[in-house]
Amino acid sequence: MNRNDRNRVRTVASLVALSIVAACARAQAPGQPAPEQPPAQPTGQQAGAAGDSAAGGGGGRGGAPAQPRPYNRVITAEARTVNGMYRAHRVNDRLFFEIPRSELNRELIVVSRTVAGGGGGGNAFIGGGANLFVQWEREGNRILLRGNDYAITADTTRAIARAVTAMNRGPIIASFNVESWGPDSAAVIDVTRLFTTNINEFASVTNVQADRSFVESVAAYPDAINVEATQTGTQQPPQAQGGRGGGGPAPRPITVTARMSWSFHPLAADPMMPRLHDKRVGFNSQRWIDYSAPAHRAEEARVIRRFRLEKQNPSAAVSDPVEPIVFWIDPATPEWLVPWVKSGVEAWQPAFREAGFSNAISAREKPPEAVDPDWSMFDARHSMVYWRPSTVANATGGQVVDPRTGEIIKAEVNMYHNVQNLLRDWYFTQVAPLDARAHSLPLPDSLMGKLVEYVVAHEVGHAIGYPHNMKASAMYPADSVRSESFLRRMGGHVATLMDYSRFNYVVQPEDKIPVELLIPGVGPYDRFVVMWGHTPIPGAKTPQDELATLDRWARMQDTIPWLRFTTEDAPNDPFALTEAVGDADAVKSSSLGLKNLERVMGMLLSVAEKPGKDYTLLEELYDNAVSQWGRYNGHVAAIIGSAETQERYGTGVRFAPTSRARQEQAMQHLADIAFRVPGWLIDRDVLFRIRADGQVARIRQAQAGVLNSLLGTARLHRLIEYEALAPAGQAYTIADLVSDLRTGVWSELSQSRVTIDVYRRNLQRAYIEAVERVIFPPAPPPGQQLPGGPQAVPQFATDARPALRGHLVELDRAIEQAIPRAADGMTRLHLRDIRLEIERLLDPATSK
């Protein structure tokens, strides 16, 4: 890659630690070159003055920098020295870096992470921190640490490059006197205060107190310098971080001590050739504005985030990489889970092999102390699977990248200890009737290990560059995910690990599917995306040279649907659902899931009632069952007002409104299932064991969620728009929705004796509340402008308001006629109350 190509790939490093990596700044202007020989040494009197200044960690503030002193006066016999990228010296409580001239103006990443402490109690985010892009510069007898900014770029041969370079000039984070010159003209600086004082970019807490902060250790390697230090400062108490609520004085800040790690690592001197991003293929990406692009505007460019894999034998079809991807396993990982974590990482090996790389990804345990006593899992060079002692029921994956090219430097997976609890709840609620191992709790270690392996593999996918692809679970026919031969051929019920398609709840007991096929694995989409991102393209010297081949590969999804990726700008794709299986036909798949959920309800007492134990587990499992019922209904509701999508590049239509017939089928399902509470969900033997009250409200909340979704403003607007664009009679309209809701929610009004139970009464009240939010939309939060600017009046922007007002008039008339047929007093009072609410909505003045 030539110089101009490299200049086109500088990008924003917008990265958050441990999920997606943190942003920092870059500077182009170099400092003055170091002298060929060390400068003449000052006199003794001058040296003493310099020593006084240096003792305070001076940076030349308030005047000219102090003069350097003789080397042996600074790096004394007491110094403990380590050699690496820089020589680092500890002299008593001070830390010196000896920075060679060759390291000046070299672009670096500094990865900071919390090693211990931090004030978080049992949920302290050990490993949390930030990423900073910097370089050392010389300014006379000072060394500056300047931030680097990669937000914009331009070809250095173009006139606009001068202005871009000026805009990219980053902040000076710290300034250090040159205390001495090394024998090879290396600048010796005292960096202690970088880690022990209140320098924002290096402070883990506010108001860092130097008298209670100190350097703990330093380790040096040819391509890294790692420093650990203890910082003491303050932070607001956790309960105060969300505001004071009822007023009163603000709580006093509390003292916090954290042990921090900073890992300095140079960006590649020979940057990786980037691969340009394609919205048809799922990759995390780096973005920047290129002011020298051959277009009549400033264009955004994107490159994918990926590891730098290069074949040892470029001519071989399959070769080991020069530098494989290695994930180190946190030594804190429970011993029995280490093999499962390892197999979760290495589940990706076959996908890389198909891309031409053998042994491309592996997991290892920490090296013995005798091999590397200073080994750190917070080293910028070490990709990690961390194990977090936390009650958070989650896991995450992210990466630290070279902002110039998208090369992943450090991949990070966070496994929170309580993810095991989440996995138990998911597995039991979705597929317990299909696996005898889940007929009692706790789950056996062999099953929990397999579930942890699944989560690790998913998060490793994130860490190596792949975002979620929620579309994948709808790319197989719904009936096929009940076929053992299909599941074995495709590697599971979903085409990728990167969907939230947990466990195969569509399978029924009579299908006799082996239990190992209930859990997804690396699928054909995963192998496709690894191939697309990593397969070498012979003869390509620049990113543009690869475009024809990459486009040809991306167009494979035109005929192979399970290679498709979520359309980025599609807000209403009925196939891009979370927590779904078989949503190519959400009505059928949700109906099958409900059959299994009814079986789960029948298992609750036998599984969760244990003499000597309270009913916490029973309540948790029941709450999950109610949530799953609501989730299945939500999958069907997503069909209304939806548009099926496929991302395309200049080859046709990207959005197709869902057919009227499919939407009508969905509404009928909701009328039968979502709007009528199944008796099996109201199990008195369960309910009166877990809580004295709250059941009716719990069901109301689940049903209200479906109604609010169906009557959401955006969905109503889409129905109106699609009707306007469709041939006459082919669209499912807002009038159809209102009519179907009338049938589904208010069906009792046509009975000869009108009886409405408490669950239906609550549903009908929730319906009126949902309609009110459309007719009288809430004001936007303070400071937030309405779409279209301050003059926009969205409540009158479409036909939704008049359609619903007209519906209320008709509903009021039907209720008036039904009241004389009410079979009981509560039904009669309820209907009268609803009429009063309708009157208030139609004519607010009459309610005053």
763 pLDDT tier (thresholds 50, 70, 90): very high
- Distance in angstroms (rounded) separating the CA atoms of residues 395 and 374: 28
- Distance in angstroms (rounded) separating the CA atoms of residues 397 and 463: 5
**Are 7 and 156 a contacting pair, CB within 8 Å?**
yes
390 pLDDT tier (thresholds 50, 70, 90): confident
Give the model's pLDDT for residue 52: 35
Q: What is the mean pLDDT of residues 54-79?
A: 72
**Within-domain flag for 410:** no
Q: What is the mean pLDDT of residues 439-459?
A: 98
Q: What's the mean per-residue pLDDT of the chain?
A: 88
Name which of 390, 386, 443 is nearest 418 in CA terms.
Answer: 390
Give the model's pLDDT for residue 251: 81
Enclosing H/E stretch for 346: helix 338-346
> Domain of 186?
10-237+260-267
Name which of 293, 294, 247 is nearest 152 in CA terms.
Answer: 293
Give the model's pLDDT for residue 154: 67
Whether the pLDDT of residue 44 is over 50: the answer is no
**Within-domain flag for 519:** no
Token pair recorded at residue 599 = 């079986």
Kindly report which listed range (5-14, 119-128, 437-446) carries the lowest average pLDDT score: 5-14
Whether the pLDDT of residue 66 is over 90: the answer is no
Q: Which backbone phi and psi does 506 adopt, to 5 degrees?
A: -75, -30
The helix/strand/coil state of 393 is coil
Give the model's pLDDT for residue 246: 53
Whether the pLDDT of residue 757 is over 60: the answer is yes
pLDDT tens digits along 323-367: 999 999 999 999 999 999 999 999 999 999 999 999 999 999 999
Token pair recorded at residue 66 = 């102090």
> How many structural domains does the chain have?
2
Q: Which backbone phi and psi does 461 adopt, to 5 degrees?
A: -55, -45
127 pLDDT tier (thresholds 50, 70, 90): low
**Are 464 and 306 a contacting pair, CB within 8 Å?**
yes
This prediction's pTM: 0.88
Query: In the block, which residue shows the tokens 């889409």?
Result: 718
Q: What is the mean pLDDT of residues 301-312?
A: 96
Give the model's pLDDT for residue 237: 75
**Structural domain ending residue among the three candidates 210, 245, 267:** 267
37 pLDDT tier (thresholds 50, 70, 90): very low
Give the model's pLDDT for residue 364: 97
Token pair recorded at residue 437 = 């191992």
Give the model's pLDDT for residue 46: 31
What percentage of the chain has pLDDT greater than the value 70? 85
798 pLDDT tier (thresholds 50, 70, 90): confident
Provide the sign of the torsion angle of the four alpha carbons 240, 241, 245, 247, taken in this order. Answer: positive
Supply the DSSP symbol for 787. T
Whether the pLDDT of residue 122 is over 80: the answer is no
Supply the DSSP symbol for 824. S
**Are 353 and 340 a contacting pair, CB within 8 Å?**
no
- Distance in angstroms (rounded) separating the CA atoms of residues 135 and 264: 10
Give the model's pLDDT for residue 18: 33
Give the model's pLDDT for residue 130: 86
Enclosing H/E stretch for 431: helix 419-431
Query: Who has greater pLDDT, 646 or 129?
Result: 646
CB atoms under 10 Å from CB of 125, counted, come to 18
**Within-domain flag for 743:** yes
**Structural domain ending residue among the three candidates 267, 288, 322:** 267
Query: In the block, which residue shows the tokens 């009549």?
Result: 296
**Within-domain flag for 290:** no
The Cβ-side half-sphere exposure at 472, using a 13 Å CA radius, reads: 31
pLDDT tens digits along 170-181: 899 999 999 999
Judge if the upstream peptide bond of residue 442 is cis by omega within 30 degrees of 0: yes
- Distance in angstroms (rounded) separating the CA atoms of residues 480 and 504: 12
CB atoms under 10 Å from CB of 238, counted, come to 12
**Within-domain flag for 537:** no
- Distance in angstroms (rounded) separating the CA atoms of residues 390 and 579: 24
Whether the pLDDT of residue 452 is over 70: the answer is yes
- Contacting residues for 757 by C-beta, under 8 A, at least 6 apart: none
63 pLDDT tier (thresholds 50, 70, 90): low
489 pLDDT tier (thresholds 50, 70, 90): very high
pLDDT tens digits along 240-289: 544 445 556 778 888 999 999 999 999 999 999 999 999 999 999 998 77
**Are 626 and 703 a contacting pair, CB within 8 Å?**
no
Q: What is the mean pLDDT of residues 33-60?
A: 36
**Within-domain flag for 46:** yes
**Are 751 and 814 a contacting pair, CB within 8 Å?**
no
Whether the pLDDT of residue 376 is over 80: the answer is yes
Q: Provide DSSP, 679-723.
A: GGG--HHHHHHH-SS-HHHHHHHHHHHHHHHHT-HHHHHHHHHHH
Q: What is the mean pLDDT of residues 705-723?
A: 93
Phi-psi region of 647 (alpha: psi -120 to 50; beta: other; left: phi over 0): beta
**Within-domain flag for 511:** no
Q: Which backbone phi and psi does 74 adopt, to 5 degrees?
A: -100, -55
25 pLDDT tier (thresholds 50, 70, 90): very low
**Are 802 and 729 a contacting pair, CB within 8 Å?**
no
Kindly report which listed range (12-21, 345-354, 791-800) carries the lowest average pLDDT score: 12-21
- Contacting residues for 682 by C-beta, under 8 A, at least 6 apart: 695, 699
290 pLDDT tier (thresholds 50, 70, 90): confident
Give the model's pLDDT for residue 693: 86
> How far are the Cα atoms of 625, 687, 700 from residue 694, in angstroms, in the given order?
15, 9, 10
Sheet with 395-401, side-by-side order of all strands: 361-365, 325-329, 383-388, 408-416, 395-401
The helix/strand/coil state of 411 is strand
**Within-domain flag for 77:** yes
